[in-house]
Amino acid sequence: MNQSALLRPDWTPATVALMILGFMVFWPLGLAMLAYIIFGERLRGFKHDVNQATDGFFAGCRRSHGRHRPHFSTGNVAFDDWRKAELDRIEEERRKLDEMREEFDSYLRELRRAKDQEEFDRFMRERKNGRRDDNGPVAEYQTP
């Protein structure tokens, strides 16, 4: 049996012994071990969620960092002018891509709405006719 199996978040002899030992040495350690035994299974999902949130936060910081950073001069006016023109061109391309993405997202929303509307209309027609095409139950049962 390996260490991870001994210290899994469950009421195993090892975890109970560590909890008791933790309470005897320093009560917050025992409390922490008790919390691990009770809530340990949730820690894996919690850790994953926290990692995703921090990755998203720092990715946002990296993206915005370049736009708000003051442009420092290299001392070569020609290079600085070229650099500023290139950065402006790239920013314009980014803006165009963002606009295209927004247009595409709106197009997809309309497609989904149209598909949902078509499915709903078909359901209402079938319900009105009292039959279903999928061999499911008939909406209105008539006795012979």
pTM for the complete prediction?
0.36
Instruction: Give the pLDDT of residue 73.
Output: 80
Q: Catalogue the E-assigned strands of the chain.
A: none
Kindly tell me the sign of the dihedral angle through the C-alpha atoms of 132, 136, 139, 141: positive
* Whole-number Å distance between alpha carbons of 88 and 93: 9
Tokens in use for 3?
């260490």
What is the rounded CA–CA span in Å between residue 139 and residue 128?
8
Write phi, then psi, for 138 (nearest 5 degrees): -80, 140
Q: What is the pLDDT of residue 70?
A: 54
Please write the tens of the pLDDT for every residue from 22-74: 899 988 888 888 888 888 776 666 666 777 777 777 777 666 555 555 567 88
Mean pLDDT of the chain: 80
